[in-house]
Amino acid sequence: MSPTSSSPDSNAAASAGPVTRFAPSPSGHLHVGGARTALFCWAFARGRGGKFLLRIEDTDQKRSSDAASVGFLKDLDWLGIDWNEGPEFTRPDGTIVGGGPHGPYFQSERLDIYNRYIDQLVREGKAYFAFDTPEELDAKRKAATAAKLAYRYDRAALKLSPAEVEANLKAGKPAVVRCKVPAGAITIHDLILGDATLPDGEVDDFVIRKVDGFPTYHFAVVVDDELMQVTHVLRAQEHFTNTAKHMVLQDALGFRRPTYGHLPIISNPDGSKMSKRDKDKALRAAVQAKGLTAPPTGTVAQERWTKWLGDKNVQLDFDDALRLAEALDVTLPEINVDDFKRSGYLPEVVCNFLALNGWSPGENVEKFDTAFLQQRFDLPRVQKTAAKFDRMKLLAFNCDAITGMDRERYVKLVREHGERYHPEFLQRLTADQFRMLADASHERSKTLEDLYKGNRWVVIADDKLAWEDSKNVRKAMLDGSPRGVDRLRELQPSLNAVGAWLAADIEAVVKGYADQHCEGQIGKVAQPLRVAVTGGTVSPPIFDTLAILGKASAMKRIERCLSTMA
């Protein structure tokens, strides 16, 4: 038997432009690493006049969910990664993407197709039923470990006669189907990593259909890549050695061999995996730093809290983590595409930044759009080693993009972000007030979230506003003579008399007061006013702040502040 080998350009369909695919298993959310794979597949195909396909690999019944699949589609759409073929998806603007001649694009709907090919392999003697119980396999695995040998399936099932196999199947004995792997070394050609040869015997007779009747990932991926005419498989490095199994199956089924390129992982700067657990880690650190022993009210239930603090392996669910992060003023490390969206990153910035994680166009070019990426993306410039995810750099990119965009676009985007994540702001403010807040926030914003994060005072109920216990607040309100609160009390009636409550009218009154009582030093009264209505010393310009709140709210807060502090 001659060695099996993949050859890069053995694909006849290559002349029509490459066909790539992104094939996520929809458990949980779309991770940045997955998004980067999708982006590279998309750019590679589109930049060469080819097609980008999306296929949902949901054959792992326990781990897949419909909600996750829809979430993946939304996340890709948000990033601007559209698919020529794949699940149908209605975009927010009502247009539909997806569909195509090679569907269905959910593997769970393709079982008949896989079974046809599995039956064929069994008929041809290239695959066989195996009835080994999990206990039997486990014992053999343990024996191999004890003997310090790598475990390989021993082909026990091949010793069964056809009659025994038939009888077992008739009796309904749980069965898997295994691929009969031919002898010989296997050489994987990879356009990024180069060649690697697996010696004879390294790949044992692996399972292609599970006891539950579903094909394994290896089998489904090979069948689908062939039927969907995929020419280039770009995927995560963790799949590199799986390629050998895929090549065995391609040979057994008489399929073409796609070209392979395995992409480096994206890790945290310290080399650790970017994982959901990082969020718990950040929260635990904040809890510890603050010396908290009980959960802040309205965050995590006491019982859950105790379990979580007591065991590093316990993770908070997403909503609990979010509530706790807000209470502790912690920004959760973003891991999934949806996290970046929630944190107020722009999709074009995320794409730009992700592209730099594992690839670069060279010539010190760092900022580019996806049209440029399509034009320039190539496999030789993809790095082999892990890419380190630099959050500060991403934030700087996002800040440049936000502060650099025109005001109208910012207002539109920041409003959309609020509609999705902070509807309470839009309920609380009139269109004019919101616009004022946006005008005041634009230049100081690194993310779309900043407007909301930095201005919680807007949506706090007037009778719930609490004043910061800080040096700056005490200085503004209680130091000196007259004290800030005294000036405020003096100013209160004139403010109350302002009719239209426009920033300019408020300004005229406050200036008038400052000229008369503070030698024109407006800060002497502006800062006490700011503290009174926002609870702290940082907010947009004071006259805007007051106008944004509206007169009733502002006057109530001033009154409450005076009766609390003075």
Give the interface with ligand GLU as residue ranges (CB under 6 A). Answer: 23-25, 57, 221, 235, 239
The smaller minimum CB distance to ligand GLU, of residues 209 and 235, is found at 235
Give the rounded distance of the alpha carbon of 519 from its chain centre: 54
Q: Which residue has the tokens 């792992």?
A: 60
Q: Which residue has the tokens 């502090």?
A: 565
Contacts 24+ apart (CB under 8 A), 462-467: 462/553, 462/556, 462/557, 462/560, 463/556, 463/560, 465/533, 465/534, 465/535, 465/557, 465/560, 466/535, 467/531, 467/535, 467/536, 467/561, 467/564, 467/565
How many other CB atoms are there within 10 angstroms of residue 285's CB atom?
Answer: 12
> Nearest approach, Cβ of 269 to ligand GLU (angstroms)?
24
The smaller minimum CB distance to ligand GLU, of residues 224 and 450, is found at 224
> Can you read off the two tokens belonging to residue 327?
């209470």
> Nearest approach, Cβ of 167 to ligand GLU (angstroms)?
36
Three-state SS for 392? helix
Give the rounded distance of the alpha carbon of 63 from its chain centre: 18
> Nearest approach, Cβ of 81 to ligand GLU (angstroms)?
15
Three-state SS for 222? helix
> Nearest approach, Cβ of 366 to ligand GLU (angstroms)?
28
> Nearest approach, Cβ of 57 to ligand GLU (angstroms)?
4
| Contact between 133 and 175 (Cβ < 8 Å) | no
Query: What is the phi-psi region of residue 186: left when phi exceeds 0, alpha when psi lies from -120 to 50, beta otherwise?
Result: beta
| Contact between 191 and 259 (Cβ < 8 Å) | yes
> Can you read off the two tokens belonging to residue 550?
């509206």
> Nearest approach, Cβ of 50 to ligand GLU (angstroms)?
17
How far apart CA 350 and CA 352 sit, in angstroms, is 5
Question: Rounded to 5 degrees, what angle do the CA atoms 488, 493, 498 make?
Answer: 110
> Nearest approach, Cβ of 192 to ligand GLU (angstroms)?
14
Q: Where are the beta strands (DSSP E) in 79-212?
A: 86-90, 96-99, 127-130, 176-179, 186-190, 194-198, 207-209
> Nearest approach, Cβ of 243 to ligand GLU (angstroms)?
9
Q: Using DSSP bridges, classify how beta strands 259-263 and 232-236 pair: parallel, antiparallel or unpaired.
A: parallel
The smaller minimum CB distance to ligand GLU, of residues 215 and 484, is found at 215
The smaller minimum CB distance to ligand GLU, of residues 45 and 555, is found at 45
Three-state SS for 246? helix
What secondary structure, in 3-state letters, does 149-183 show?
Answer: CCCCCCCHHHHCCHHHHHHHHHCCCCCEEEECCCC
DSSP 455-508: TGGGTS-GGG-----SHHHHHHHHSSSS-HHHHHHHHHHHHHT-SS--HHHHHH
The smaller minimum CB distance to ligand GLU, of residues 337 and 542, is found at 337
> Nearest approach, Cβ of 58 to ligand GLU (angstroms)?
9
Burial label, 191 (beta-carbon count in 10 A; 0-12, 13-18, 19+): middle
The smaller minimum CB distance to ligand GLU, of residues 31 and 46, is found at 31
Q: Which residue is nearest to ligand GLU (CB)?
A: 235
> Nearest approach, Cβ of 72 to ligand GLU (angstroms)?
10
The smaller minimum CB distance to ligand GLU, of residues 25 and 370, is found at 25
The smaller minimum CB distance to ligand GLU, of residues 57 and 75, is found at 57
> Nearest approach, Cβ of 420 to ligand GLU (angstroms)?
27
The smaller minimum CB distance to ligand GLU, of residues 54 and 465, is found at 54
> Can you read off the two tokens belonging to residue 524?
């002497």
How far apart CA 279 and CA 275 sit, in angstroms, is 8
The smaller minimum CB distance to ligand GLU, of residues 218 and 422, is found at 218
Buried b (16+ CB within 10 A) or exposed e, 491-513: beeebeebeebebeebbebbeeb
> Nearest approach, Cβ of 391 to ligand GLU (angstroms)?
24
The smaller minimum CB distance to ligand GLU, of residues 266 and 514, is found at 266
| Contact between 539 and 457 (Cβ < 8 Å) | yes
Three-state SS for 122? helix
The smaller minimum CB distance to ligand GLU, of residues 236 and 396, is found at 236
- Reported residue count of the chain is 566
> Nearest approach, Cβ of 116 to ligand GLU (angstroms)?
21
**Residue at 135: amino acid letter:** E
The smaller minimum CB distance to ligand GLU, of residues 23 and 437, is found at 23
**Residue at 335: amino acid letter:** I
The smaller minimum CB distance to ligand GLU, of residues 239 and 284, is found at 239
> Nearest approach, Cβ of 207 to ligand GLU (angstroms)?
16
